[in-house]
């Protein structure tokens, strides 16, 4: 393939778990993909190493302290222009030369750069789910208006995207999202009160960042993914289901009105979904070996127990309330997880914080982005001042 037709990629969250998997895809397909911009929060040494390896012309650090340290350290290549803070993130997200922006920052901070990238006409590969739960209405509207692709990179949504492509929406009955059940899927319920941040940041199947690993344990992650699916695929909550599948090989199912169910399978590595989005609509050899049916393989499925996963029920409640309730769910969960990781709250406080925020913050629909961000801020305040009843 000629140099000129390489797809130019911006990677937001380059130093994280999705970022690292994306770099593996970029290394394997350097004949088709070129990294033109990267963003991270504070890991400036890692970001500098990425810029040196991939000859990245634009990089940004959201943390001003990290930017100052990076400038003083001088380890970014001289050919990389280093930006900083929120303005830098917006600049890198809208680089004129970029074709596609892979959004792999964690949390609602991804919303503004994603909207800016869409307005600048970039296709979006969306790993970050929080921004869609917060601002789905705005993101979907902007993507339609600008005629850009919103490519689902979260593994479940990528699976569904692959299963439904070429099918009529009218033929779709429901979507069934698989969930590993996380690290406490078989832990006796009475032990959950004593779970520590160290326990909750170890996942049995996936290697991921700390926030999503805790979200997998509580299944707030699956709750966020239900809301994400609602925006991406336009189905009401009653047509979105969750099934526990401990092996994480089937990444989700699409069921059609005639009862046929399609699935997408691959081992638990995000490189499959990332590569699918970055090369879309083309395909090429994957970077990880796929599922091998010559070896014994067991695939189990069971319904989730609501008593173990109250965050899942809260997510359904938020979806059914609609308006700003999903945004409140997300903001309260982000704060609750941060506070749990900082040893300020117990593990079982996470659903309590979300429930409390949903009960006190007004969930009326936000008619503009500023109003939505105000709801987000209010939910964060409420969640930050929640006092644990568990200790």
Options 123, 154, 355, 376; binder of Mg ion; rule CB under 5 A:
154
For ligand NAD, the binding residues (CB under 6 A) are 13-19, 39-41, 43, 62, 89, 104-106, 109, 127-130, 154-155, 206, 208-209, 211-212, 270
C-alpha to C-alpha distance for 322 and 176, rounded to whole angstroms = 20
Q: What letters, b where the CB count within 10 A reaches 16 and e where it falls short, cover 223-246?
A: bbbbbbbbbbbebebebbebbbbb
Q: Which residue is nearest to ligand NAD (CB)?
A: 16
Q: Which of 208/379 has CB closer to ligand NAD?
A: 208
Please list every residue from 109 through 138 that binds Mg ion, using CB under 5 A: none
Tell whether residue 376 is a contact of Mg ion (CB under 5 A).
Answer: no
- Bridge-partner residues for 240, per DSSP? 175
Nearest one of 127, 128, 122, 185 to 148, comparing CA atoms: 122
233-to-156, 197, 256, 327 alpha-carbon distances in Å: 12, 34, 14, 18
Q: Which does 127 bind (CB under 5 to 8 A by kind): ligand NAD, Mg ion, none?
A: ligand NAD
Q: Which residue is nearest to Mg ion (CB)?
A: 154
C-alpha to C-alpha distance for 131 and 139, rounded to whole angstroms = 9
Q: Which of 116/163 has CB closer to Mg ion?
A: 163
Beta strands in the chain (DSSP E): 7-12, 33-40, 58-61, 81-84, 100-103, 123-126, 150-152, 172-179, 240-244, 250-256, 261-265
DSSP state of 348: T
Assess contact for 100 and 85: CB atoms under 8 A.
no
Tokens 């506070």 -> residue: 339
Q: Which does 16 bind (CB under 5 to 8 A by kind): Mg ion, ligand NAD, none?
A: ligand NAD
- Least distance in angstroms from the C-beta of 19 to ligand NAD: 5
Q: Which of 143/159 has CB closer to ligand NAD?
A: 159
Please list every residue from 155 through 194 that binds Mg ion, using CB under 5 A: 155-156
Q: Which of 50/314 has CB closer to ligand NAD?
A: 50
- Least distance in angstroms from the C-beta of 155 to Mg ion: 5
Nearest one of 218, 235, 203 to 307, comparing CA atoms: 218
Strand order in the sheet with 172-179: 240-244, 172-179, 250-256, 261-265
Q: Which of 40/263 has CB closer to ligand NAD?
A: 40
- Least distance in angstroms from the C-beta of 330 to ligand NAD: 10
Q: Which of 37/223 has CB closer to Mg ion?
A: 223
Q: Which does 39 bind (CB under 5 to 8 A by kind): Mg ion, ligand NAD, none?
A: ligand NAD
Q: Which of 3/70 has CB closer to ligand NAD?
A: 70
Q: Which of 39/56 has CB closer to ligand NAD?
A: 39
Nearest one of 194, 174, 331 to 257, comparing CA atoms: 174
The token duo for 354 is 């979300």
- Least distance in angstroms from the C-beta of 242 to Mg ion: 11
- Least distance in angstroms from the C-beta of 3 to ligand NAD: 28
Binding positions for Mg ion, rule: CB under 5 A:
154-156
């Amino acid at each position: 393939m000629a140099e000129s037709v390489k797809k130019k990629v911006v990677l937001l969250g380059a130093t994280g778990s999705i970022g690292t998997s994306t770099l593996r895809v970029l290394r394997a397909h350097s004949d088709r993909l070129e990294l033109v911009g990267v963003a991270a929060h504070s890991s400036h040494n890692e970001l500098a190493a990425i810029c040196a390896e991939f000859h990245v012309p634009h990089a940004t650090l959201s943390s001003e302290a990290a930017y100052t340290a990076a400038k003083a350290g001088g380890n970014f290549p001289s050919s990389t222009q280093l930006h900083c803070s929120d303005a830098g993130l917006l600049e890198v997200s809208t680089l004129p030369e970029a074709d596609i922006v892979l959004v792999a920052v964690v949390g609602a901070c991804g919303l503004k750069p994603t909207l800016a990238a869409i307005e600048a006409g970039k296709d979006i590969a969306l790993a970050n789910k929080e921004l869609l739960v917060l601002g789905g209405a705005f993101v979907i509207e902007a993507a339609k208006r600008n005629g850009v692709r919103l490519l689902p990179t979260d593994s479940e949504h990528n699976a569904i995207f692959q299963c439904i492509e070429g099918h009529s929406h009218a033929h779709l009955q429901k979507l069934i999202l698989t969930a590993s059940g996380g690290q406490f899927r078989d832990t006796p319920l009475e032990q959950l009160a004593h779970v520590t941040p160290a326990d909750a940041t170890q996942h049995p199947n996936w290697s991921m960042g700390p926030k999503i690993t805790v979200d997998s344990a509580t299944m707030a992650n699956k709750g966020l993914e239900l809301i994400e699916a609602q925006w991406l695929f336009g189905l009401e909550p009653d047509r979105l289901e969750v099934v526990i599948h401990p092996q994480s090989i089937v990444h989700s199912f699409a069921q059609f009105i005639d009862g046929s169910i399609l699935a997408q399978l691959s081992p638990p590595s995000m490189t499959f979904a990332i590569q699918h989005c970055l090369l879309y609509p083309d395909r090429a050899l994957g970077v990880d070996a796929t599922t091998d049916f010559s070896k014994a393989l067991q695939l189990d499925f069971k319904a989730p127990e609501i008593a173990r996963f109250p965050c899942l029920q809260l997510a359904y409640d938020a979806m059914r309330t609609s308006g700003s309730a999903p945004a409140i769910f997300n903001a309260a969960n982000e704060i609750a997880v941060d506070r749990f990781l900082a040893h300020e709250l117990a593990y079982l406080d996470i659903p309590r914080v979300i429930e409390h925020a949903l009960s006190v913050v007004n969930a009326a629909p936000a008619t503009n982005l500023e109003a939505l961000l105000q709801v987000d801020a209010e939910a964060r305040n409420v969640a930050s001042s929640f006092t644990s009843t568990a200790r």
